[in-house]
Structure 1
Amino acid sequence: MEILRGILTVIFILVCIVLTVIVLMQEGKDAGLGSIAGISETYWGKNKGRSMEGALVKATKYLAIGFIVLSVILNLNF
């Protein structure tokens, strides 16, 4: 069991590092003054889900779920 706990701990540390890097790579969510005039509704704004930013958001969601699951598993006393 100690080998499994060690492997899960290494995976947990890797997930923490990758999650931190991905969150720091994301752009800010404020649109600035362009949102007042509706300028933010451009091609880029409408297709954000298919861009690199959309991929970062999806990766953040999955890594956050993995972080929580690994946290709970590592906290169990087995």
Structure 2
Amino acid sequence: MVVALNILLVIVSIALILVVLLQSGKSAGLSGAIAGGAEQIMGKAKARGIDAVLNRVTVILAVCFLVLTIVVAYFSRT
């Protein structure tokens, strides 16, 4: 059972890393200030939807990671 939990923990860890890397940065810096008008013209609603989904998936994976870590630590103690 501990081996299965460890494998699941590794899978969740890799998924969490990938989802965090897929997210766009919150502060785009100077390039965001210059290109900000173009984004409003072209439409950024789709990207905001994707970012919202990625944020939600990040929270879910982080909670799963935390719970799995505690469970693995508890069962590894014995």
Q: With the length of structure 2 as denominator, give the TM-score of the two structures.
A: 0.72
Deviations 1:41-70 (A, max 9, x none): x5636x83xx11111000000000000000
Query: What residue number does 1:53 align with?
Result: 51
2:9 pairs with 1:17: no
The aligned residue for residue 70 of structure 1 is 68
Q: What is the SS of the residue equivalent to 2:44?
A: helix
State the SS of the aligned residue for 1:27. coil
In structure 1, how many angstroms separate the alpha carbons of the residues matched to 2:28 and 2:7? Answer: 38
Structure 2 letter corresponding to 1:57: N
Matching residue's letter, 1:54: A
RMSD over aligned Cα atoms: 2.6
Q: Which has the higher helix share?
A: 2
User: What 5-or-longer segments of structure 2 have no aligned partner?
Assistant: none
Give the whole-Å Cα distance in 2 for the aligned partners of 1:73 and 1:29.
33
Q: How many matched pairs?
A: 71
